[in-house]
Structure 1
Amino acid sequence: MAIAKIKHIFKKYPILANSVVYGTLYTGAEFSQQTYTKKIAANPSEDYDVKGLARFSLFGSTIGANVLYQWYRWLDGKYVGTATLTIVKKMALDQFVLTPPLIASFYLFMSIMEQKQDVFEECRNKLLPTFMTSCVFWLPAQGINFLFIPPAARVVYVGSCAFIWVNVICWFKRQDYSKTKED
């Protein structure tokens, strides 16, 4: 009964449902990262970064979910079926056409929300290592997605993978990849 209601909600309100789920998973991943970095690995009395959680929630529920919903709708309409060549095309397009601008938009969005002076610096320094790691993670995940996951559940599946991926991207976000300037 509950599964039927959930399916009905996703069919009737796909953008809203995917936004809620993807935003929640994105926020949950950042929360798990903060729990590890602030409560377990560092000082247990350190407070959670609520503004950081809000930034991840906002990105996940607006940009992430909506871009992915429209992307998979287009991709599934353009490349129908589960033939090997179709799956390879979908995976290549997903990884090499969608992923770089999506990662860039993540870093730019976060830098703007954090009111950084140079909103492009983090993107310049972290885009390539983040993208290379995403290839290792997302290519197999998308193979499963395009082979076994029904189109109506793609954003939720990707959102579930994103819970893991956002933990990875949170790690990248916390790394210092800035290039030291020589005086």
Structure 2
Amino acid sequence: MAGWWRALRHAPRRFPWPTNVLLYTGLYSAGDALQQRLRDRPADWRQTRCVATLAVTFHANFNYAWLRLLERALPGRAPRVVLTKVLCDQLFGGPITLSAFYVGMSILQEKDDIFLDLKQKFWNTYKTGLMYWPFVQSGDGTLQSAFAFLHRKEADVGGSHPGN
């Protein structure tokens, strides 16, 4: 089982830009389709296309550049540094991406008041995000750090059994 871990340690540390764009677009689109399904609504593929358009044109690119900027400005994984990065992301990155999402969706859906959804939904969405994102943002944002976390858990579980 440790073979995958050794292989992963030698893998590239970050996904290249095109891969990030494709991943964000896929996740945003799938999230939108799932949200519609969970609400027992008929599929609104036009809305999902709008979400995908925003993801590919803005969100994926912004997040890629923003997280690279944070890492360059605040390098390292010390708890204080990670906390500072999370705070910067929540205070600056979060409001920018939420605003771009609501205004962008309104533009793509050809709404008369492109700021109405932003005015009505921003604070509730932002507060909800503050309860979620800081707790899932850890490590250096790479797949490798996620697997490192899982590997530690696996080692902890494996070490607790007699005979290991």
Scaled by the length of structure 2, what TM-score is found?
A: 0.75
Q: CA RMSD in A?
A: 2.5
Post-superposition shift, 1:61? Answer: 2.2
The reply on whether 1:16 has 2:18 as its aligned counterpart is: yes
The reply on whether 1:133 has 2:128 as its aligned counterpart is: yes
Aligned to 2:4: none
Distance 1:16 1:74 in 2: 18
User: Looking at both structures, which has the greater relative contact order when contacts are Cα pairs under 8 Å and sequence separation is at least 6?
Assistant: 1
Post-superposition shift, 1:151? Answer: 4.9
Aligned to 2:30: 28
Post-superposition shift, 1:152? Answer: 4.6
Distance 1:101 1:69 in 2: 14
Aligned to 1:167: none
Q: Classify the secondary structure of the residue corresponding to 2:39.
A: helix
Q: 1:107 aligns with which of 102, 108, 125?
A: 102
Aligned to 1:168: none
- Once the two structures are aligned, what percentage of the paired residues are identical? 25
Aligned to 2:56: 61
Asked whether the 8 Å contact 1:104–1:127 carries over to 2, the reply is yes
What one-letter code is carried by the residue in structure 1 that aligns with 2:94? T
Distance 1:121 1:53 in 2: 20
Distance 1:86 1:134 in 2: 21
Q: Classify the secondary structure of the residue corresponding to 2:133.
A: helix
What one-letter code is carried by the residue in structure 2 that aligns with 1:115? E
The structure whose Rg is larger is: 2
Question: Structure 2 stretches of 5 or more lacking a match?
Answer: 1-6, 147-164
